[in-house]
Amino acid sequence: MNGANALIRSLVDQGVEVVFGLPGGQAIPIYDALYEREDLRNLLMRHEQGAVHAADGYARATGKVGVCIATSGPGATNLVTGLATAYMDSIPVLAITGQVKTTALGKDSFQEADITGITLPVTKHNFLVKNADDLPRVIAEAMYIASTGRPGPVLVDIPIDVSLAETDYKPVKEVNIRSYSPHIEINDEDIKRAAELINASERPVIYAGGGVVLSGASEEITKLSDMTHILVTTTLLGKGAISEYSPHSLGMLGMHGTAYANHAVDQCDLLIAIGARFDDRVTGKLAAFAKRAKVIHIDIDPAEIGKTVAPDVSVIGDCKEVLTRLIPMVNPRQETDWNKKIMQWRTEFALKCPADDGEIHPQCVIDCLSEMTKGEAIIVTDVGQHQMFTALYYKTTSPKRFLSSGGLGTMGYGFPAGIGAAVGCPDLPVFAICGDGGFQMTLQELAPALEYKVPVKIVLMNNRYLGMVRQWQELFWNRRYSGVDISYQPDFKLLAEAYGAVGIVIEKPGEVKDAFARSLEIKDKPVILDFHIAREENVFPMIPAGQSIEEMMVNRPR
């Protein structure tokens, strides 16, 4: 067989069932090898950015490696934003790119781009394959690197002459990469010191990040919290680490976190950070963050320890494994005055939907969706105000049910990632919650969603603004709304119908629930739910960038 067929055979042998991609001249042999394959499903996306976001969404929802394919040059460079998105959030993605023939490399050939050089800072590893015989080994290693240790995206670049070269396919049964050892021996002494700090603390708080979701440590976090009554706040990517219906859940912390979670972190005497990286959107003014607390930091990546916050105790290792060994050393405890104090904050600063004033408020839309789905749907957000409203008002019950671009904050992510999630989890309803700005960046993926009967429900928060930028301009730039009014836009209902999808316009609060109910009845095509929301709604609470909890705004300043 030729190299392209060896590539596809390798993917199948590695358990890959679906790829998202777009062909081009240098990827024709790869797509020819896909022709009439019944054991590897190919979804033809309409832009490479859509392909890599779909692979990302598939990976986050399933826990498997998401795979995308692009051609050389602009096809490959169109993957960069999605790879950076996956890299920032530690998502296992394998990107396969076609490349000009090996003899044309480095000669500014037509559609040549040094994609391994370009993606070096935004991939966990990448390969340029120059011998077809190497393809089975490279694919096996790429899948192994992407999914082990701290996960991340890997790129494999394949020149067209390598795809066409003849090779004897030899399956790779075992991967052994010199200098790559993802398994970390956990130090028992570190665990013992962590347990001693927990047992001695009076006001502890758990701060759970995306590493908890990636490691599958949700059950352990819940067990630790239940036996000690230590309350849990999560990052954006940590949503689902503990059920947000649990009385021990404080929701999200940080810039747009709940006020009670931020007060708890501010006043705690021990912060137990698990699979979290002290992102600046969480810490704000670093010198003022959890300034009364000792810190335990548990993370699989040694590079994260002390990068931002110097811990008193660090434990390096997989979150699930560390917690499994830590829990027997922690003393059970009953609720204390500290718990009661946090409950007072939770009552005082409770999240509330605005009163009905005839306009549709995004908080109420998300709250309604949360109630109707009981937190059991897969929620994929784009980036902006709607993302924060969703993080605050949608109660997630399980890991891998809330997907969002956290680190890079990539507009245009939500809808194609929702396609990937729906392909990976066809038995669950998938809602892609988007702003009208972000949706217009990747809306062309309506075509494959129709073609492959992917019933993603697009919850469009349509305020005809780039809402989060407008909010910052209102609060910090004297209401100088420069470059944010996007009132010139398509009729989204007609747009949906032009593609063959379903479009529903919702203009009154009383129409929200019925619209969601109608969308849930549609099982074979996407639906655009065009919510005409209040134009100048703001996300609160808000701690201004680089500030501390003392500057937190819980309402619009007068």
Statement: residue 555 has pLDDT above 90: no
Peptide linkage before 541 cis (omega within 30 of 0): yes
**pLDDT single digits (tens) 500-525:** 999 999 999 999 999 999 999 999 99
Spatial distance between the Cα atoms of 230 and 253, rounded to a whole number of angstroms: 15
User: Of the candidates 148, 149, 151, 140, which has an alpha carbon nearest to the alpha carbon of residue 175?
Assistant: 140
pLDDT in tens, 257-285: 999 999 999 999 999 999 999 999 999 99
* SS3 state at 314: strand
Q: How many CB atoms lie within 10 A of CB 355?
A: 7
Q: Are strands 93-99 and 41-44 parallel, antiparallel or unpaired?
A: unpaired
The overall average pLDDT reported for the chain is 96
Query: Is the torsion defined by CA of 95, 98, 101, 106 positive or negative?
Result: negative
Both tokens of 71, joined, read 């051609």
Residue pair 364/229 in contact by the 8 Å Cβ criterion:
no
CB 233 within 8 A of CB 414: no
| pLDDT band per the 50, 70, 90 thresholds, residue 247 | very high
**How does pLDDT run across 476-495, given as a tens digit for each residue?**
999 999 999 999 999 999 99
What is the spatial distance between Cα 91 and Cα 358, in angstroms, rounded to a whole number?
A: 41
pLDDT higher than 90, residue 297 = yes
What does the pLDDT look like over 76-134, one tens digit per residue? 999 999 999 999 999 999 999 999 999 999 999 999 999 999 999 999 999 999 999 99
